[in-house]
Amino acid sequence: MAVVSTLALHAMSLPRAVRARVRSRAVAGERSDEELMLAYVDGDEAAFRELFERWAPIVHGLTRRHLRDEDLAREITQQTFFKLHGARKDFRRDGKLRPWLLTIAMNLVREHWRRGKRRRHVELDEQREVAPTPDKSRLELEQRAEMLHEALAELPETQREVVELHYFQERPYKEVAAIVGSTEGAVRVRAHRAYRKLEAILQKMGLQR
């Protein structure tokens, strides 16, 4: 557990960008996702735009981490919202939008893998082209992040999607189970195995204290 403890220590100083993005919107007066969706079903085009602005970065982040391909992530983000539009009349007044969107995105990602398209590794240089100029510590962080990316990529699909949803999207196990079509217990086991495997891969890569 030494490696993991080290990782946890590093994590303390990291920006919480991911979590901030998915944090629930409790701003007074702001319409909820469900209210926006219902407004869109009733013909409010602006509501769809608002939903897109709210959720596209999250869906994009999720699919990008999964596919490691910027263009593909954008394409699947667009497809997700197009599919959401196509299914809008299925949306029930008591429904929740978030599991809908994430399930659509995950289904599209799975469909992509099913069609035999292989993961294309995005070159680090390519990423740096669009990234702000990093300082030394940031570079180190990026290198470590790249290692972790690779470790994550080595996980089986079923384990990776659980980590993506539970950890990065902060979805509770119950919701992750609903999204991936499994039971909560099975999802917990998958997360547990994923974590153990990640730990082993990272140790092998030499990510140590």
Partner 1 sequence: MSASAERRDPEPELAFLEGIEAGRTELDPGELDDLFEGVRGRVEKSGARRLNALAEQPTSRRRLFALACCALIVVGLGALLPHSNQPLPPLALGAIFGSFGVLLVVAVVIAFRPIYVPALSPVWKIGLGVAAVAAAVSVALVPELHAHLTARPAEGAFLGKALPCLSFGLLAGLPGYVFLRLLDRGAPFGPLLAGVAAGLAANMVLELRCPVGGAEHLMFGHAMVVVAFVVGVALLERLVLRRA
Site for partner 1 in 101-120 (CB under 8 A): 101, 103-104, 106-108, 110-111, 114
Closest CB to partner 1 among residues 28, 42: 42
The footprint of partner 1 on residues 24-43 (CB under 8 A) is: none
Least separation in angstroms between CB 26 and partner 1:
22
Of the candidates 176, 174, 175, 154, which has an alpha carbon nearest to the alpha carbon of residue 164? 176
The footprint of partner 1 on residues 117-156 (CB under 8 A) is: 127-128, 130-132, 134, 138, 141-142, 144-145, 148-149, 152
Closest CB to partner 1 among residues 12, 26: 12
Binding mask 49-78 for partner 1 (x = CB under 8 A): x--xx--xx--xx---x--------x--xx
Closest CB to partner 1 among residues 28, 175: 175
Least separation in angstroms between CB 30 and partner 1:
18
Least separation in angstroms between CB 7 and partner 1:
4
Closest CB to partner 1 among residues 31, 52: 52
Q: How far is CA 76 from CA 66, 84, 169, 205, in A?
A: 11, 12, 17, 31
The single residue among 30, 35, 90, 157 that binds partner 1, judged by CB under 8 A, is: 90
The footprint of partner 1 on residues 176-205 (CB under 8 A) is: 178-182, 185, 188-189, 191-192, 194-196, 198-199
